[in-house]
């Protein structure tokens, strides 16, 4: 495939130079370089080249694709952020591996409605309206992003008026309810999202290789009770990884209703027997002890882990809870498959998500792929791979939906991960601040339309 893009004239970097196709071409080449660390190249590797046919008038780019890609018309090569060639090219050519150390990342010059002013690590980041923004200057003059790690401190700041908008907040539903009870100056939003919370199984763990054990764990956990007890019924139990908002969400897949008797029977079929202390023993006499790793400092998730611990104890599994900082759990432990049995975390998808990075066997993180994949369970399934490969190239939307729905059926049957629930985006905003519109979608943060916000007189 070949896609031509016309770049809108009049956009400038915040140092005044124009944004042109040369910036797009530079960004593509830089991100494709394997010496640049920490980049997902799944979509980038589908692109053969990005051309600027007229260097004298560089406002047209041609993207040449190696293969069919259904969303080739969404973003030129799958990346939202374009970088300034005039500021980074020299350092990149000198040593690509050292580019992440460039001072640019501490004080970036971008091309959107707000320009960087200040970053105080651990405290705040300030941006101001860019007066030459082509569609028009933003109505809000200044945005200050505060980094508040404790959800209780953030809750107090929201209620006192010290914070105007909150999004990535680790709030539990009870905290949202408390904000609603304590102040009438704040709007609360429970936006249906594509955020999937699950327990991922490490399929290299001996006991978890047998899917009867995974089925048993699923039936031993009362997800409906968890949603009611921890989330006030505001979350929705999930049976697949795509939420109902997604057009390819499968309406009928294998579900695992709460049934501890059936869970115990499955564990017996798998060769486990009860010990005198009520904990199962495997065929070699080993006590069945497992760990569930999840994020520290997120009280609702910690409550969920404790309920799961109690419920699995009821079928003879001694579950130990291992709490880690979110940056460590997601950035290292999950990414490098260092959880020995199970991990509880969430992923936010977009309408273009097709599951390849998360479920295809080629995406199992390891040395072979530079730890780039997100199939942290280590799931290998021939039919699943075939369906994901076909969906990744299918241009017909209805056929692509059929492929993805079948893939969800395969996943629910094999169960490399137990779907728990879909997490609504919990956001707050001062009532006097108009135009705040949360979307609940990946890549769309609460400030996606901040250039439209304004204070009501």
Residue 109 domain flag: no
SS3 363: helix
| Dihedral-angle region of residue 56 (phi above 0 means left; psi in -120 to 50 means alpha; beta otherwise) | alpha
**pLDDT above 90 (res 214):** yes
Residue 151 placed within a domain: yes
pLDDT of residue 171: 84
Highest mean pLDDT among 308-322, 341-355, 440-454: 308-322
Q: Residue 79 is part of a domain; what is its CATH number? A: 3.90.76.10
Which of 103, 137, 153 delimits the end of a domain? Answer: 103
Q: Domain residues for 386?
A: 194-423
Which range, of 28-37, 80-89, 125-134, 395-404, averages the lowest pLDDT?
Answer: 28-37
Please give the C-alpha separations between residue 413 and each of 201, 256, 323, 343, 381, in angstroms, as whole numbers. Answer: 14, 10, 29, 20, 11
Residues 246, 391 within the same domain: yes
Q: For 271-311, what is each residue's pLDDT tens digit?
A: 999 999 999 999 999 999 999 999 998 888 999 999 999 99
Q: What is the CATH number of the domain that holds 175?
A: 3.40.190.10
Question: Residue 440 — pLDDT band, cuts 50, 70, 90?
Answer: confident
Q: Are residues 138 and 235 in the same domain?
A: no
Assess contact for 118 and 100: CB atoms under 8 A.
Answer: no
Is residue 214 domain-shared with residue 305, that is, in the same domain? yes
Distance CA 435, CA 443 (A): 19
- Is residue 108 in a domain? no
DSSP state of 82: -
CA 411 to mean position of chain CA atoms: 19
- Of 148, 160, 158, the C-alpha closest to 188 is 158
Mean pLDDT, all residues of the chain: 95
Q: How far apart are CA 6 and CA 12, in angstroms?
A: 16
pLDDT per position as a tens digit, 343-369: 999 998 988 899 999 999 999 999 888
Lowest mean pLDDT across 2-6, 141-145, 225-229, 439-443:
439-443
In a domain, 365, yes or no: yes
Q: What predicted TM-score, i.e. pTM, was given to this entire model?
A: 0.86
Same domain, 122 and 231: no
Domain total of the chain:
3
Clarify whether residues 69 and 158 are in a common domain: no
Residues 281 and 383 in one domain: yes
Which CATH number covers residue 244?
Answer: 3.10.105.10
Assess if residue 141 is contained within a domain: yes
Distance CA 68, CA 65 (A): 7
Q: Is residue 290 part of a domain?
A: yes
- Chain centre to alpha carbon of residue 69: 21
Q: Residue 292: inside a domain, yes or no?
A: yes
Same domain, 220 and 266: yes
For residues 362 and 216, state if they share a domain: yes
pLDDT in tens, 153-208: 999 999 999 999 999 887 888 899 999 999 999 999 999 999 999 999 999 999 99
Domain boundary among 69, 103, 137: 103
Asked if 418 and 441 sit in the same domain, the reply is no
* Residue 202 and residue 180 in one domain: no
Task: Please give the pLDDT value at position 123.
Answer: 95
Q: Is residue 222 part of a domain?
A: yes
CB neighbour list of residue 151: distance below 8 Å, 6 or more residues apart: 169, 170, 171, 172, 175, 297, 298, 299
Do 218 and 182 lie in one domain? The reply is no
Domain final residue, candidates 59, 75, 103 = 103
Residues 125 and 232 in one domain: no
């Amino acid at each position: 495939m070949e896609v031509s893009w016309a770049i809108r004239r009049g956009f400038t970097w915040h140092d005044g130079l124009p944004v042109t196709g040369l910036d797009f071409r530079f960004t593509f080449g830089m991100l494709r370089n394997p010496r640049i660390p920490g980049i997902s190249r799944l979509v980038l590797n589908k692109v053969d080249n990005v051309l600027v046919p007229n260097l004298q008038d560089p406002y047209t780019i041609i993207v040449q694709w190696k293969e069919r890609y259904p969303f080739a018309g969404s973003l030129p090569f799958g990346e939202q952020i374009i970088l300034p060639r005039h500021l980074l090219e020299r350092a990149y050519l000198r040593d690509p591996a050292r580019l992440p150390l460039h001072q640019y990342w501490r004080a970036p010059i971008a091309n959107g409605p707000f320009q960087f002013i200040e970053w105080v690590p651990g405290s705040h980041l300030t941006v101001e309206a860019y007066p030459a923004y082509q569609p028009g200057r933003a109505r809000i003059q200044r945005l200050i992003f505060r980094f508040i790690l404790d959800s209780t401190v953030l809750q107090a700041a929201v209620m006192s008026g010290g914070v105007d908008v909150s999004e990535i907040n680790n709030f539990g539903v009870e905290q949202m309810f408390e904000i609603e009870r304590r102040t009438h100056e704040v709007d609360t939003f429970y936006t249906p999202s594509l955020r999937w919370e699950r327990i991922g199984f490490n399929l290299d763990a001996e006991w978890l290789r047998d899917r009867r054990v995974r089925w048993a764990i699923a039936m031993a956990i009362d997800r409906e009770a968890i949603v009611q007890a921890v989330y006030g019924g505001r979350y929705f139990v999930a049976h697949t990884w795509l939420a109902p908002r997604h057009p390819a969400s499968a309406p009928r897949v294998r579900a695992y209703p709460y049934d501890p008797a059936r869970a115990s029977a499955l564990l017996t079929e798998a060769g486990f027997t009860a010990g005198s202390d009520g904990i199962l023993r495997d065929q070699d006499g080993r006590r069945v002890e497992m760990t569930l790793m999840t994020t520290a400092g997120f009280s609702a998730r910690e409550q969920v882990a404790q309920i799961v611990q109690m419920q699995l104890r009821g079928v003879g599994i001694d579950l130990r809870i291992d709490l880690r900082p979110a940056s460590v759990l997601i950035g290292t432990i999950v990414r490098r498959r260092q959880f020995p049995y199970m991990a509880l975390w969430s992923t936010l998808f977009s309408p273009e998500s097709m599951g390849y990075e998360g479920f295809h066997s080629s995406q199992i993180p390891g040395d072979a792929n530079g730890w780039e994949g997100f199939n942290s369970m280590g799931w290998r399934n021939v039919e699943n791979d075939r369906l994901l490969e076909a969906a990744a190239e299918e241009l017909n939307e209805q056929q692509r939906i059929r492929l993805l729905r079948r893939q969800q059926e395969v996943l629910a049957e094999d169960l490399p991960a137990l779907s728990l629930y879909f997490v609504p985006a919990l956001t707050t905003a001062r009532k006097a601040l108009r135009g705040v519109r949360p979307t609940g979608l990946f890549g769309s943060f609460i400030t996606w339309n901040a250039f439209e916000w304004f204070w009501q007189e």
